Amino acid sequence: MQPIQRVAIVGAGNMGSGIAQKTAQEEFDVQMVDREQQWVDRGQGIIADFLSEAVERRIFSPGQVEAIQGRITGVVGVENTAENTDLVIEAVFEDFDIKTAVFKTLDAACGPETILASNTSSLSVNALAEATGRADRFVGLHFFYHPAKNRLVEVIPAASSSPETIEKVVQYCKMLGKVVIVCGDRPGFVVNRFFVPWLNEACLLLEEGVATAAQIDAAACKAFRIGLGPFGLMNLTGPPIALHSTDYLAEQLKTPRYTGAQNLRDLIDANEHWDVSGDEAYSQDQFKAISERLYGVVFGVAAQIVEEGVCSMEDVDRGAKVGLRWARGPFEMMNRVGVQDAHIMASQYADLSAQTDQDRAWKVPEFFTKQAQQGHAWNFSYVDTSIESGVATLTINRPEAMNALNETVVGQLSEALDEVNANDTVHTIVVDGAGKAFVAGADVKFFVDKIRADSIPDIVTFTADGHTMLDKLESSSKTTIALTTGLALGGGLELALACDYRIGTRRTQFRFPETSIGIYPGLGGSQRPARICGIPAARWAVLAGNFMDAQTGHDLGLLTHLVDVAAVDGCVATLASTGKPGDKYPGRPTNQESKIAQFASAFFSDENMPAIMNGACPEGFDAEDKTVARQLKSLSRTAPIALSMASGLIDSTASTSLAVGLQMELDQLTDIFSTKDSLEGLSALIEGRKPTYTNA
């Protein structure tokens, strides 16, 4: 399947220019289309201002900004959109007639293979599809503001959308680094379906005199663990948008409770914003009333979304955490307050809704009621399994946390491996990660919590379970492949290295950060790299924690196949036919002539290690040399005990089997996690500060 490369955005306003910018940042060819030159110029100006700020904040270099802007071509007139465009995203006013007029012009201008998409937050995707003239090559997209920053996008296939169309658009969104929710075509889709009534309920609480806007915002921030309450959010995005959205949902879902509150209408008529400047202090009774009402609408609507098959409860939570930046999703919050209490809150909201909707009362879904009656918490699935033509793909689907490994993920992945290893129809196992990352390491907060609770044995058990899970890849009779087409850090890279093959693209990035956060890599990171690329290269990667781009990973052999995005599926098919490798652990870099491999061999040689471990520059190297200085600086920022233990474990690979080396990793876990430096390093990572190590 040829991936999308040439993208056009119709509409150069704030949203359209943001989508164009993000698309160009990820190295797509972009056309930014609008009716008149002044609007195209305005869009270019919005992008220039945004990127200028990014340079000031050192997010991009001036050279990178020039390249991004160079990939964006301004186009005046929808009819002038290039015929060979792969994907056109319409991002004009949220008006059905205007959008359909744009699509009629695009259908005539674009080639037969061009996919059309509408960036809509509310309109019926199925209705839009029928108006495009190419209903099979159409999807709905809902980017969240600002598209260059917010990682969420909802992909809404029409009933007529072809599987290839959906697959291509989802792949494009993932290449933007987005967390993708594929959902059904229902009013509000996923996030707005519960978020907009939440806003309106805050207005009704104010109208009823329960509390002031400032008090409601403060109580909502505490209950939902968010930084900005409903009134502050409406002030930021514009009260008219909130009114339009809630009235639309009320009409489409035939739920009068959602009709925009009168005080919201009065505010807009007066062209004002909410006054949130008052005293934020609230009583316990006020907090109870506010939190239970706001919880009630969110919990009930979240359950309705799942009952209607719009998406899974995991995706509902994902939308809240990524799109709205809530600390927890609705179902996670239900578990926290108790599913039975959550059901009571939703039922109380249903009673309020029935008072204004006698004919079609807002209902709490039956499955939610049963769950409350049973008294069980919600269980979440983070590993998806699909099997096609003998290839089982296990996708770690926790993109809101960069697919970080925790007890649940490790357990579910282990169970999934048991199932596919026992399946005689499966000959190849592919491990993949949803979103931008493959797996961005282990859940660091788990380690910190356990250390502080003096429960280090729990860390050992978790890691031992991880070893057991990885052995199901290591010892599998089936061909095992890791699709490391994104970020793989620490435990994620260790997971990949347990597979027979690692496929990467230009977006692949590897790193072992452990020594810089007070620990050593304990899931095979001290063992497999040395056996794959040799001890000096393993020291370069593990001890100094160097970032590796795709080419470096491939030169060292940590990445076995480096391909274009379009060639990933073909590479998987080839490896599935080839079978297991003849020599998984060659003990030397794949490209021994690469500069990194040669530097690692020379700098991290056995004879230089005493000097390196003492913080000195090895004899024969210039400490002022940029490459040498970078290594010495990286090594100086590691925790001394972690560095020493990691070095010793790497050295052991010269005289031990893999099984013995892995056991040595496990045996020393209690020692490393008992150090003060491990708590300091892990805590500093969570807190976003530089650690201070005391060698204790």
User: What are the structure tokens assigned to 166, written together?
Assistant: 């959906």
pLDDT of residue 2: 84
In this structure, how many other beta carbons lie within 10 angstroms of the beta carbon of residue 477? Answer: 8
Q: How far apart are CA 553 and CA 238, in angstroms?
A: 47
DSSP string, 300-351: HHHHHHHHTTSS-HHHHHHIIIIIS--SS-HHHHHHHH-HHHHHHHHHHHHH
Among 18-22, 102-106, 326-330, 435-439, the range scoring the smallest mean pLDDT is 435-439
Only one residue has tokens 């992008």, namely 47
224 CB-side CA count, 13 A: 31
6-182 folds as Rossmann fold (3.40.50)
pLDDT in tens, 626-644: 999 999 999 999 999 999 9
Only one residue has tokens 């492949």, namely 481
| Structural domain boundaries in the chain | 6-182, 191-360, 383-687
Q: Provide, rounded to the nearest whole percent, the portion of the chain with pLDDT above 90.
A: 94
pLDDT of residue 357: 57
pLDDT grade, residue 121 (50/70/90)? Answer: confident
pLDDT in tens, 244-259: 999 999 999 999 999 9
pLDDT of residue 358: 54
pLDDT of residue 78: 97
Among 51-55, 99-103, 369-373, 565-569, the range scoring the smallest mean pLDDT is 565-569
C-alpha pair distances (Å), 357 with each of 265, 344, 437, 561: 21, 19, 45, 60
pLDDT of residue 435: 84
pLDDT (average), residues 656-662: 98
With a cut of 80, say whether residue 671 has pLDDT above it: yes
pLDDT in tens, 63-93: 999 999 999 999 999 999 999 999 999 999 8
Q: What are phi and psi of 682, to 5 degrees?
A: -70, -40
pTM: 0.89
Whether the bond into 146 is cis, omega within 30 of 0: yes
pLDDT grade, residue 457 (50/70/90)? Answer: very high
Q: How far apart are CA 28 and CA 30, in angstroms?
A: 6
C-alpha pair distances (Å), 481 with each of 1, 281, 534: 20, 56, 21
pLDDT in tens, 401-450: 999 999 999 999 999 999 999 999 999 999 999 988 999 999 999 999 99
191-360 folds as N-(1-d-carboxylethyl)-l-norvaline Dehydrogenase; domain 2 (1.10.1040)
pLDDT grade, residue 356 (50/70/90)? Answer: low
- Answer CATH for 383-687 from 3.40.50.300, 3.90.226.10, 3.20.20.370, 3.60.21.10: 3.90.226.10
Beta strands 138-143 and 152-157: pairing type?
Answer: antiparallel
In this structure, how many other beta carbons lie within 10 angstroms of the beta carbon of residue 648? Answer: 13
pLDDT in tens, 504-547: 999 899 999 999 999 999 999 999 999 999 999 999 999 999 99
Alpha-helical segments (H) within 188-283: 191-207, 213-224, 230-237, 239-252, 262-269
pLDDT of residue 436: 83
Q: Provide, rounded to the nearest whole percent, the portion of the chain with pLDDT above 70.
A: 99
Amino acid identity for residue 421 in this structure: N
With a cut of 70, say whether residue 110 has pLDDT above it: yes
Give me the chain's average pLDDT, please: 96
Q: How far apart are CA 343 and CA 246, in angstroms?
A: 23
